[in-house]
Structure 1
């Protein structure tokens, strides 16, 4: 079942096409990786889907409903969760309180937080923390957590609105290889069990090739390839972008190394 349908999505800044007529679909329960070099338009695409940017043209359909131009909080309440490249939690609060805040927001009860709220939705928050392996840390301050654990808390927060669609912007950035693969394996498991569509960006090609069901590749705002890992890995345009025969794309050595690592995996 098609969950998210992107149709000719375009965003221009002062005449520069950051995203240029991009179209793709995401199925429920599927992990779809959005990859490309720096400046390809990945974050712009994410920010339009999430409501932080209004498209210049095109449609963003969630279960058939066009959500293009809606406010982020309204899109959140329709069942779209998001994690960010730099994990964002309230360091002055406990792990449990961070998840409770997300549950309060989803039910439009943020201002009730200043009342008697310590036990409000506690069981539900603990259940979400248990899903991501963080229930034992519920009473710890987020300020003292290792970065990999903060990423898991952020995932629990993103699940607080029982999302149909989960947007993950470089979910494994700053994590060690073992932590990266553990987090994405957990995400894949949750996606299948809960029928969540996951769209994620990622620079680590070992993560992409190991966990994505399908890949789409952007370069200079245009979609240049899509398909499964083998199809994309062998596409000559993708090799040009990542491996350096096309100077206009300013390939990065780290991306070349990651792509080669993915081929040997």
Structure 2
């Protein structure tokens, strides 16, 4: 049985069908990229899986449990973590306290939540920070961290819930190429170690092709393609939707010493 099974998912806003009969599966230990141009319906689809939007029709099952109709916090307690395009942390709190807060919430011990966290769950919080390479910064305020480090803290917060499924909305948005690759390599390692399924949206094609095990592509609310990176890169419908007829994904191999570095980016190439 798949970790996540989405079947016939649809969402309408008045006369607009933002998501139209979309179905896909996600296995434990797999990174699945949800792609599409602006207006394709990927954010709507993503938010329905998280419970932030109710679908008009369809089914979303996590390990056989139907998620449709459940509140986001109840879905979270079933083991669905999430990171956001704009990292969500408490800037005035320390790195450690941010993760401690997530652990307090997990255990539903929210009485006096805003008191000093003290030693509550400190060891477990520190262990999570060590996993994401932020143990040495545990006592620093989140507000003084570089953006890439804030993203690592957010990942530790998401892992505090011991998720079976992790939803990552534009995980590398606003990051430099080196930071992007470091964060996704870390995510890939944690996914493998803990057998977490990851569904992520992403605009950086270098990240998608380097780290996704499978990709699904939406256009105007419909699923138009799914498969591995090579299949998606060479799919004529995907090429047309993204770039128009005659254009394709072409891996970019930067010259040594060229400006911008060898970050493995993917450029938009035009065929004759």
TM-score normalised over the length of structure 1: 0.92
Distance 2:240 2:134 in 1: 41
Higher helix share: 1
Q: Distance in 2 between matches of 1:19 and 1:79?
A: 25
The residue aligned with 2:74 is 74
Q: Which residue does 2:166 correspond to in 1? A: 166
Residue in 2 that maps onto 1:206: 206
> How far is the alpha carbon of 1:69 from its aligned partner?
2.1
CA distance in 2, matches of 1:263, 1:92: 39
CA positional deviation for 1:257: 7.7
Give CA-to-partner distance per residue, 1:156-199, whole Å, 9 cap, x none.
Answer: 00001000000000000000001101100110110011000000
Q: Secondary structure at the match of 1:43?
A: helix
SS in structure 1 at match of 2:11: strand
Counterpart in the other structure of 1:194? 194
Deviation by residue 1:32-66 (Cα, 9 ceiling, x = unmatched):
00011011111111111111000000000000111
Aligned-residue Cα RMSD (Å) equals: 1.8
- Within 5 Å, give how 1:220-235 maps onto structure 2: 220-235=220-235
What is the alpha-carbon distance in structure 2 between the residues aligned to residue 116 and residue 208 of structure 1? 40
Cα distance in 2 for partners of 1:160, 1:13 equals 35
Instruction: Choose from 248, 254, 266 the match for 1:262.
Output: 266
User: Any conservation in 2 of the 1:217–1:223 contact (CA below 8 Å)?
Assistant: yes
Deviates more, 1:36-45 or 1:166-175: 36-45
Task: Provide the C-alpha distance between the structure 2 equivalents of 1:258 and 1:39, rounded to a whole number of angstroms.
Answer: 24
Gaps of 5+ in 2: 253-264
Aligned to 1:179: 179
- 1:29 maps to 29
Provide the C-alpha distance between the structure 1 equivalents of 2:41 and 2:217, rounded to a whole number of angstroms.
10
Count of matched residue pairs: 256
Aligned mates of 2:69, 2:125 — CA distance in 1: 31
Counterparts of 2:181 and 2:4, CA distance in 1: 25
Secondary structure of the residue that 1:189 maps to in structure 2? helix
